[in-house]
Copies of this chain bind each other. A is one copy, B any other.
């Protein structure tokens, strides 16, 4: 079907489906459910099941999906892996161990970038996952253009099925959004301006000089610099500057009363 008008049409109908997740003879309904939840977490919805051991539908899968019912409702069931992937144009096989096959091996991150490049919506791509205990059969692996291997602790590399689905789906999801790195959650306020900060620092310093803390005088510039650096690192908001002004007012009143 690849390249036909029919395929183009179905791509338009479900534009953001992302790559298909193909579970080959999965054993535990619970893993099907948690895999569906992981797919939903990462915006994927095209789930395909090849001969699920306990039949279909599976109430255990639904219970474990924690609300990702839309993934299970759309899941398609197949008798063979070949049928399950017939309409796909680029296929990966996940594998925990090196196979005796000449095949490209990608990390989930590299595979995600590749799938995004092959089709922006990933609709023509699919990832095969084998049954819990044994992994994929070689006959299934050979259907794929490449392998995906998750780089893990070599001493303990057996990954739960749903965890493997999560890592592939997570990298797919992240590949399309820029990593913000480190952001400051401002909780409704805004960063203080330099003027607001300098006003605060001057007030603290006047209070400290008045109270005799900044002593001896020759050390005062260094002490002021160190104090300012503590507050500079805190990246204060306008609201926090006002709170600190209020604190200083209270402390000054208390000192005047005590004095």
Which A residues are closer than 8 A to B by beta carbons? 34, 37-38, 40-43, 66-68, 98-107, 109-110, 114, 146-147, 150-153, 156-160, 162-163, 166-167, 170, 173-174, 177, 179-189, 235, 237, 239-240
Contacts and interface: CB of A to CB of B under 8 A. Distances in A.
Contact of A102 (B102, B156, B237): B237
Contact of A114 (B146, B159, B182): B182
B177 A151 contact: yes
Nearest to A152: B41
Contacts of A146: 182
A144 to B, nearest CB: 12
Given A106-B182, A183-B104, A41 B114 contact: no
Contacts of A185: 98-99, 101-105, 147
Contact of A158 (B66, B105, B147, B159): B66
Contact of A160 (B66, B102, B177, B237): B66
Contacts of A42: 152-153
Given A41-B159, A160-B34, A187-B100, A105 B182 contact: yes
The 10 residue pairs across chains A and B that have the minimum distance between CB atoms: A40-B156, A43-B153, A110-B181, A41-B152, A105-B185, A105-B183, A100-B187, A106-B182, A102-B187, A103-B185
Contacts of A152: 41-42, 173
